[in-house]
Structure 1
Amino acid sequence: MHQLAGKLNQLDPQAGEALRIVSYFDVLVARGVGLDGLLRGAAVLSGTVAGAEVRGRTTRRDPDGHPVTDAAGPRRRGSHRSRADWAVWLEREGEPGPVDEMIVERLALGVELLEARRRPESGFDAVVDPDRPVAERVTLLAKRRIAPAARVRILATPADAAEAGEVSAIVPTRYGLLRATLDTSGGLAPPGPAGYGTWVRADRAPESWEAAVVALRLTDAATPVVDATDLGAMLMLAQAYDPDHPHEDVRALARLDRRSAGILLTLVEADSIRSAAAELGMHHSTVQARHEALTRALGYDPRTHLGRMRYIAAALLLRLAAPEPPAG
């Protein structure tokens, strides 16, 4: 993540800083920090006082991490978020900083997760947690009048996406914070990127959530919604894969520059090298030379039947290997 942030910062400093903020808060959540820890992080990143009001109690921290208890109370609130039981904000005079909105957004997601954990009887994140006992998940489902054998699926969307259904929760994953939403009707249609999990019995919701996370990772601008069911047997491959230890076929694809990757895709999909050359607008002999060079770089011929299978599998797994930079 740090390497990706560094590269992105060279290309687009604001996008690189946004990715650093996402990574920072995800680490805090993964470590299980409380409200004070989240506020200290927000204050340090923003360089101003960060505050929160949770269930009627106000807590504020300055950029040095010290509590702020001045009698005057919070200064004018700049960027802020709120729900029924809590609110978070940055206290800044004048115009907001360039990443204030991102900081407050991630702070709000952290507080939302803390509040969900504080109320375990209503925490939907436990329903999709494979480490929770089945009996506990069934009890939580029963509180929502959902039978263990009921047919459900889980949707995965970015953590800051609008809630698409009545039952959802922020859930920490290996890819950072994501939002899990329960779908019992098949009629939910999130407005942005979304991964649809497989349909399962309600007491097997973690299986659907795992599939939904994989599906979300495979979305892009051209395909903003991916249904895990459509992956077929490839879903099993993706679920068994460990992105922290990428296969050599995946590493080989990752080493290609964007132009080479585009030529490779065309070579894999085209009926012949001549048709690939026509599509690319390149001379046949040039494409032939690129095909030979790519074959050496990959360690297999991507135009053979077996080579195409290796390429398709590696391209799928490459999408799971590294966090994506935030949109916008």
Structure 2
Amino acid sequence: MKGLLLQLSALDADAESAVRVIAYFDALVAARADVASLVRATAALAECGAGLETADTGRVRYRQDGTPAPSERSAAPEQPERSEQPEQPAADESAGLGHVSGWMRLDDDGGRVWLERPGPPRPLDEIVLERMAIAARAIGTRVRPSLHIADPALVELVLSDRESAEDRARALRLLGLLPDVAVRAVAISPPAGADVGVQAVALMARGRLGRRTVRVAVLGRMAAVLIQDRAVAASPASDLRLALAERPSSRTGTTVPQDGERDGTSPGGRQAGAGFDRSTSASTGHWDAAAQPRVGIGGPVDGLDARVSWRQARLALRFAAPGSADALVVDYAELGSVALLADVPVDRLRSDPDVRALDVLAQGPAGPGDIAVLEAYCQATSLRQAAAVLHLHHSSVAVRVANLEDVLGWRLDEPEGRFRARLALLARRLATAP
């Protein structure tokens, strides 16, 4: 307060005006104004352009007439050394605003507020900036949960191919997202019988997404998630895989039948699953893949192009399958040329001889276990690694692989044979994906 009192004492002639400025910003804080409202109100009060930039909000600028001004950057720039003065925000001549006439630091992360006044600063500009900064800090320290259940209608509008850019931008703002900051879409499909919204929210809450802004909406039998952050280029795939792998399920787990179990059940009577996994059941401390959601992750795009990331996320979801956390969470960026398989019509995939051979295998008495062994063996680098994934002895896996070679006619000990099997498994996964 000492600095503020010194400023007030230097403004004897305008002391009443200074008090009004203080009251103006206090009222904004009391009314729980958001960042955009604060900048817009400052521009109106100062009768010139105003701006604010933080790591969380990116750059927000408004003209004197209350209309938003374009932002040169959607996030704070790289920060200078602490011993240097922070970078002064640049003017935007194309927006019809003057040069930056004054600015003030908000935090050590490079946050700042400024006025864009043509000509020299006015006497009250300093106190306007100081009170704007105080209000911005107050707004920024409010408890704002980053994970929200969103209005499905707004999310559908953001992801629509038919809506105008203006409508999509408005929907993004209503969701608490910034149209000019990158966004990433995630598609989540729950296990059979599970609540879509509960599964999606629980997974995202466990995903250690930090300061990212997350919006979750239920669209039919799928959850759509929008993630926004200045570091959105970093995929959440590893965080979500870790979240899935760390959380045992209370549901009964899936196991691969041991040799001689031809009825499709384990000794404990559990039904064998359709995919390989690292688990038996939560009661034995193992992780249950069959009770976990499948996840597809799209790439980062401009907020107004969220529909592109959503298409990528849904495509990646088709490749996700019950199994390890790596199999359950598929990042579109990690698919590479494998994503081209998704362009093949489903009918053609289903009619492929290799896919049909796997369908016949899966319908056999030990079918789910055989498919699980084939999946694990094709992805592993050795019999022992596949055995570790399946919780079987490596000699049992060797016997099963030999039986699979006889049934399918593929040489699984050769690169070409394993590639053929892997391709057939992927094609079958796409053909049977919900």
TM (normalized to structure 1)?
Answer: 0.47
TM (normalized to structure 2)?
Answer: 0.37
Between structures 1 and 2, the one with greater strand share: 1
Larger radius of gyration: 2
